[in-house]
Structure 1
Amino acid sequence: MQEHTTIAAIATPPGQGGIAVVRLSGPESYAVAAQVFRPMDSRKRVADAKGYTALYGQFADGAELFDDGIALFFRAPHSYTGEDAVELSCHGGDAVARRLVEACLAAGAVPAGPGEYTRRALLNGKLSLTQAEAVMDLISAGGRQGAALANAARGGALAQKIAAQQQALTSLQAHLTAWVDFPEEDVPALEGGSLRQTLSGVKAALDELIGNYNAAAVLREGIDCAIVGRPNAGKSTLLNLLAGFDRAIVTPIAGTTRD
């Protein structure tokens, strides 16, 4: 549990690239950023930066300036994690990004654990459990449809459907409890037909969600499939037809494609 600490980690994939992003989150995010970032405009101070603003400046490791870039500022609770947060955009490449993280750690931050930012967003009420799971689904989506489904769940569509069924069951339980515990209040009894109708409706809705989940798993995770046949039987042509573009070479010469 690190809710009272400030965490730092590289938020972009490793390797060479134009830009790398180092993310800070926690109560001391601004204080850590102030030690590793020097605004080009000397009149600007990191401590005074408002949320949803950006500053251009240089990154420092102690007294040495080693890169320049942009700092984006977020004030709690208006950030992904619900905490004060700063995103530092430096030039891409492992050496620069790692040095920036090391400078942040030397300034008082601690390394973020796997999924730490989303975990904090969940604990701080910025995401529901289904939305947190959808974040990972969106990151790992292998196609457009899978990404669209994950994005809808991340927006709360799945959570709202589940909450509606939970509310129906909660209301039913409250009515039954009041009818049993407070007979003197003349609470109307639920007729068997009405009770069965409510429970059947909830079950049908949940069965539909389960069915949709199983179907969505195919879009989210994909299907491993092998196309096997005699040479020149049309395997590459079939693959290109299924893919919608020329993925494999098509030639009358046998044995040209084997992948």
Structure 2
Amino acid sequence: MIYNDTIVALATASGAGAVAIIRLSGKDAIALASQNFKSVTHGKKLIDQNTHTIHLGHIVDDERVIDQVLVSVFKNPNSYTGEDVVEVSCHGSVYIQQEIIQLFLRKGCRMANPGEFTLRAFLNGKLDLSQAEAVADLIASDNEASHQIAMQQMRGGFSTEIAKLREELLNFASLIELELDFAEEDVEFADRTQFKDLVERISFVLKRLIDSFAVGNVIKNGIPVAIVGEPNVGKSTLLNALLNEERAIVSDIAGTTRDTIEDELVINGIGFRFIDTAGIRDTKDVVESIGIKKTFEKIEQAQVVIYLFDADAISGDDKKSENIVVEIEKIKNKYPLKPLLIIANKIDKLTEDKRQSLNSTLSAVEGSQYLSISAKSGEGVEDLKTQLLNFVNTGALKNNETIVTNTRHYDSLLKAFEEIQKVKYGLESGLSGDLMAIDIRQALCHFGEITGEITSDDLLGNIFANFCIGK
């Protein structure tokens, strides 16, 4: 692919709106725009204007006026892509957008590929690869936490940390390589004690970054929460109470929910995806049976499971209480690694004595957390939201620590950590410098893959193909 021609694309969302922005980038961007721009100021030419200036005028096709526009000029290298860039702010009519884009295509521009503006920014050294990927994450962010992580990464927080580790390791690698040139003299240029301290520090940082992926991944993609339980215990009512809208159909007929219903809610900047499932019971109804099967599939996919039961239905009934405890234990045993939150619903129907009796019953379930709520009245729903937040480690966000959210970065960090462990073992066992140098080179390679110092065309193609056109 040639990356020195001039490209054009719609930079704002497609469709009609108040204003649209059309972006051009490349060596002829300003010249092409100047040919088709008639300023309201007589005799003004875009090509003669200073960088970072805005000009009012009309986009014209020969003598035909297409639209009155504002044109922003950014001259290289002080632009997003590092090339000459022009941004045309026009009225948001789809017809006008297409007319202007087609005009520039006829004049010699090429339609930009997905992410090509950001790709050019990377190739021209305006962003490293992890920062470029953060641009896509920033556009896709739909809650405060994912936005905060993407902004931190785009500003270089993650890449700066990686670059510092890589530079220190590279300095020692150079000394190890130098020793190989003087192998016959049996001299050591790299202080082994300092090198061991560096390897320990790199191992610690890598382990912290790797561990942060568990939090970063759920923050980026949202935390799936399955609401399960027997029919008619209030699962759909709870979903509606959480979302504060009538999202799911509610009735007194058992088995009303026959398919899973999903919706998202942001709680204190963290996205949760709630899944209302079909009630679990023995049934001969074919359609309901399919819904129950899907319930267990959703439990497999969920990261948090809410088990809901009708507190009023078991009140004073020891057999039903025992059955509830048995069902909870089954879920705990089947999904031991998933956080399980036990919720007693419909407590608005209980007397104070019955509520105390209920607490004694729930206390019999060891190692589980439980709440009492009324989904209908809203009592306890805010406590439920607080408990869900407690399942997410947001301490790193509050402390502004680096959090890894990208699977590619996570994979490279794991590989780098593995190589560093080999180097650590080599130091402890007195391994020769030439063998340790191989592992050090591999670790440096994996660091370079994160920031883009080591790339391939296939890798870049895969990354930027996921961007929107115009960015």
* CA–CA separation in structure 1 for the residues paired with 2:233 and 2:67: 56
Asked if the contact 2:240/2:248 (under 8 Å) is kept, the reply is: no
User: Cα deviation per residue 1:170-224 (whole Å; 9 max; x = unaligned)?
Assistant: 1221222233434769655533x54333212112211211222332121112234
User: Cα deviation per residue 1:132-190 (whole Å; 9 max; x = unaligned)?
Assistant: 11001111112111011001100111110101111121122122223343476965553
Structure 2 equivalent of residue 173 of structure 1: 173
Q: Among the aligned pairs, what percent are the same residue?
A: 33
TM-score, normalised relative to structure 2: 0.50
In 2 relative to 1, CA 148–38 (structure 1 residues): closer, same or farther, beyond 3 Å? same
* CA–CA separation in structure 2 for the residues paired with 1:82 and 1:67: 28
Structure 2 equivalent of residue 99 of structure 1: 99
Structure 2 equivalent of residue 86 of structure 1: 86
SS at match of 1:88: strand
In 2 relative to 1, CA 214–62 (structure 1 residues): closer, same or farther, beyond 3 Å? farther
Q: Is it true that 1:233 corresponds to 2:234 in the alignment?
A: yes
* CA–CA separation in structure 2 for the residues paired with 1:254 and 1:46: 70
Q: Which runs of 5+ in 1 are unaligned?
A: none
Q: Is it true that 1:143 corresponds to 2:143 in the alignment?
A: yes
In 2 relative to 1, CA 222–103 (structure 1 residues): closer, same or farther, beyond 3 Å? same
Bigger Rg over Cα: 2
Structure 2 equivalent of residue 208 of structure 1: 208
Q: State the AA in 1 paired with 2:164.
A: A
* CA–CA separation in structure 2 for the residues paired with 1:240 and 1:210: 36
Structure 1 equivalent of residue 62 of structure 2: 62
Higher relative contact order (CA 8 A, sep 6+): 2
43-52 vs 227-236, greater mean Cα deviation: 227-236
* CA–CA separation in structure 1 for the residues paired with 2:12 and 2:25: 15
In 2 relative to 1, CA 149–185 (structure 1 residues): closer, same or farther, beyond 3 Å? same
Per-residue deviation at 1:90? Answer: 0.5
Asked if the contact 2:21/2:90 (under 8 Å) is kept, the reply is: yes
Asked if the contact 1:232/1:252 (under 8 Å) is kept, the reply is: no
* CA–CA separation in structure 2 for the residues paired with 1:122 and 1:249: 44
165-174 vs 47-56, greater mean Cα deviation: 165-174
Q: How does 1:1-259 map to 2 (within 5 A)?
A: 1-182=1-182, 187-188=188-189, 190-191=191-192, 193-229=193-229, 230-231=231-232, 233=234, 235-237=236-238, 240-241=241-242, 246-248=244-246, 254=252
SS at match of 1:66: strand
Q: Which runs of 5+ in 2 are unaligned?
A: 263-471
Per-residue deviation at 1:247? Answer: 4.2
* CA–CA separation in structure 1 for the residues paired with 2:180 and 2:46: 61
Asked if the contact 2:138/2:147 (under 8 Å) is kept, the reply is: yes
11-20 vs 36-45, greater mean Cα deviation: 36-45
Per-residue deviation at 1:25? Answer: 0.2
Asked if the contact 2:236/2:250 (under 8 Å) is kept, the reply is: no
What is the root-mean-square deviation of aligned Cα atoms in Å? 2.6
SS at match of 2:227: coil
In 2 relative to 1, CA 247–195 (structure 1 residues): closer, same or farther, beyond 3 Å? farther
Structure 1 equivalent of residue 369 of structure 2: none
Per-residue deviation at 1:250? Answer: 10
User: How many residue pairs are counted as aligned between the two chains?
Assistant: 255
User: Cα deviation per residue 1:15-48 (whole Å; 9 max; x = unaligned)?
Assistant: 1110111000000011110122211111321111
User: Cα deviation per residue 1:63-101 (whole Å; 9 max; x = unaligned)?
Assistant: 210211100000000000000000001011221111110
Asked if the contact 1:228/1:235 (under 8 Å) is kept, the reply is: no
TM-score, normalised relative to structure 1: 0.88
